[in-house]
Amino acid sequence: MNGTILIVGYRAYEELEQCLASIALYEPSTPVVVVDHDADADRARHLQQRFPDVTYLARTTNPGFGAGVNDAARHAGPGPLLVLNPDCRLDGPLLQPLTDVLAAHPRAGIAGALVLEADGSVQASARRFPDLTTGLGGRTSWLSRVLPGNPLSRRNLTTGPAAGVVRTDWVSGACMVIRRETFDAVGGFDERFFLYWEDADLCRRALTAGWETLYAPVARVIHLTARASRHAPVRSLWAFHRSAFRYHWTHGGVMARVLSPLVAMVLAMRFLARLIRR
């Protein structure tokens, strides 16, 4: 099964170069498309010289992660699309193990690998769709950090190689493989999500269209978290909360929209608290 690796970059050139080097080592025959937002001409030239087989698309603006993936997909070949963050590093083959999982599960349209933090700990990259418990038991919540085995966090997060290949609600866009027919059926990523939650939205729309999402720790990547967002920390923090509200409004139903002023207020307070903490 052919496929293409899609990477959306934003100023994290050191990490992107490491990512491409790991792809050249473990996926030497897999086509790669890089969309570089707000590109630096000199850094772009260096990457093109070092990795001449990569389709490198320098963009002068930054319309967001989802828009970048859609842009890259328009330049991809046939077969599945492997979306990979530029701050990820491969430590083994990635595309084939994940596409083998899709082949063994005909109803699966999306699969996510095991994602490790830089210190080797497992990142909670497979999760339940966001609901009222996510703020308390989500990946970055205080409760999940202090008491990771609590019932709310166990409800929201699926992690670890021991889980095996399991069905989950959504997987992180840091590393996910998507059937091309699934991607086309849902129209790709929703570009109204500038950054964050667009992966949960994609998996939700795929489920509505009849496609399951799998957590497949048969392959793994190392994710150097937030290396791109650190170049625009306030904008990234705002995008997180804005996208959380958009997800709530889009998928929450009638009652959720009735409660949307309260949700907006809570998200605004959370944004201000995180901003002050920075």
Domain boundaries, the chain: 4-123+159-229, 232-278
pLDDT score, position 227:
63
Token pair 């150097």 is found at 224
Report the topology of domain 4-123+159-229.
Spore Coat Polysaccharide Biosynthesis Protein SpsA; Chain A (3.90.550)
> What is the sign of the dihedral through the CA atoms of 258, 262, 266 and 267?
positive
| Whole-number Cα distances in Å, 89 to 7, 56, 179, 220 | 12, 18, 22, 9
Token pair 């491409």 is found at 20
Residue 194 tokens read as 């500038």
pLDDT score, position 256:
82
CA gap 66, 77 in Å, rounded: 19
Residue 117 tokens read as 């933090």
Q: pLDDT category, 147, cuts 50, 70, 90?
A: low
Nearest of 208, 274, 276 to residue 239 by alpha carbon: 274
Phi, psi dihedral angles at 33 (to 5 degrees):
-120, 125
- Summarize the confidence of residues 67-77 as an average pLDDT: 97
**Cβ atoms 182, 203 nearer than 8 A:** no
Q: What is the dihedral of CA 122, 128, 132, 136, to 10 degrees?
A: -10
30-50 tens-digit pLDDT: 999 999 999 999 999 999 999
Which helix (H) or strand (E) covers residue 276, if one does? helix 260-277
10-34 tens-digit pLDDT: 999 999 999 999 999 999 999 999 9
pLDDT score, position 201:
98
pLDDT surpassing 90 at residue 266: no
**Cβ atoms 153, 144 nearer than 8 A:** yes
pLDDT score, position 26:
98
pLDDT surpassing 80 at residue 7: yes
Token pair 């701050």 is found at 87
Q: pLDDT category, 257, cuts 50, 70, 90?
A: confident
Q: What is the dihedral of CA 112, 133, 152, 207, to 10 degrees?
A: -30
203-244 tens-digit pLDDT: 999 999 999 999 999 999 999 976 666 668 899 999 999 999
pLDDT score, position 270:
86
One-letter identity of residue 246: R
Q: pLDDT category, 254, cuts 50, 70, 90?
A: confident
| Whole-number Cα distances in Å, 74 to 29, 62, 69, 81, 254 | 20, 17, 9, 11, 35
pLDDT score, position 171:
96
Identify the DSSP state of 162.
Answer: G
CA gap 50, 152 in Å, rounded: 46
CA gap 249, 263 in Å, rounded: 10
Residues in CB range of 18: below 8 A, 6 or more apart: 89
pLDDT score, position 252:
87
161-192 tens-digit pLDDT: 666 899 999 999 999 999 999 999 999 999 99
pLDDT surpassing 60 at residue 143: no
81-127 tens-digit pLDDT: 999 999 999 999 999 999 999 999 999 999 999 999 999 998 989 99
- Summarize the confidence of residues 140-165 as an average pLDDT: 66
CA gap 79, 99 in Å, rounded: 9
**Cβ atoms 244, 197 nearer than 8 A:** yes
